Amino acid sequence: MGFYNLSSAPELRKSMLNLDTTASIHSSISMKDCSVFSRVGFRGIGAEAFLNANKVPVPAKPNQSLSFQEGLVVLRLSKSEFWLMSTNNQNHEFIAALEAAAQGVENLYRLYCQHSHACFLIEGQDTGTMFAKVCGVDLSAQTFNVGDVVQTSVARISAIVTKQTQDDSDYILLFADIASVQYLWEALTDASAEFA
């Protein structure tokens, strides 16, 4: 008893975001709900060694992220906490296997970030300006670099924000309380509306 794979039944996951009641964005900023895309988190003093042993590269410092393989992003949220995210939803088997491998490993605790946090992927040249309307941290292109992670408040709820790049195009991943996903989507949609 005590261990079942949170990566199980991916086809039954359903985002709590109801886009039927949300105004669509008519904006140069695009926002995609990636909440059901596979991801897993690990914490504990054995986490870094575990990931290294499973050939997952990790950022050297806390509050950094990196991309590896195609569509996989690793966030280092503290010295001993890591989240692994599939941005294209094509790496489910890898993540599920990694989660299964964590079973029984000492000093390693699996996190429930798949189900505790919503995830938005946000792109567009005005993204930084839009975030300035909802976040007190400077996320402008000049200041917020690829690989940076900030753990802050967005529209008054706790959020984790990181910037990554793919095909020479920067994008932002935002993780926030899954129960607030509808509220946050609408707040960001509202903040984005002026950027036509």
- CB closer to another protein out of 56 and 117: 117
Joined together, the tokens standing for residue 122 give 């946000």
In this structure, which long-range contacts are made by residues 142-149, counting pairs with CB atoms below 8 Å and at least 24 apart in sequence?
Answer: 146/170, 147/59, 147/64, 147/65, 147/66, 148/63, 148/64, 148/65, 149/62, 149/63, 149/64, 149/65, 149/75, 149/76, 149/77
Min CB(52)–another protein separation in Å: 20
The sheet with strand 72-78 has its strands ordered as 64-68, 72-78, 81-86, 39-43, 109-111
- CB closer to another protein out of 113 and 150: 113
Binding residues vs another protein (CB under 8 A): 1-2, 4-6, 8-9, 12-16, 18, 35-36, 43-44, 109, 111-117, 129, 132-136, 138, 140, 142-143, 155-157, 177-184, 187, 190-191
- Identify the DSSP state of 23: P
CA distance 5 to 48: 20
Of 57, 54, 91, 61, the C-alpha closest to 74 is: 57
Joined together, the tokens standing for residue 41 give 């988190």
- CB closer to another protein out of 69 and 158: 158
- CB closer to another protein out of 12 and 60: 12
Min CB(79)–another protein separation in Å: 14
Residue 185, helix vs strand vs coil: helix
Min CB(44)–another protein separation in Å: 6
- CB closer to another protein out of 36 and 73: 36
Min CB(167)–another protein separation in Å: 26
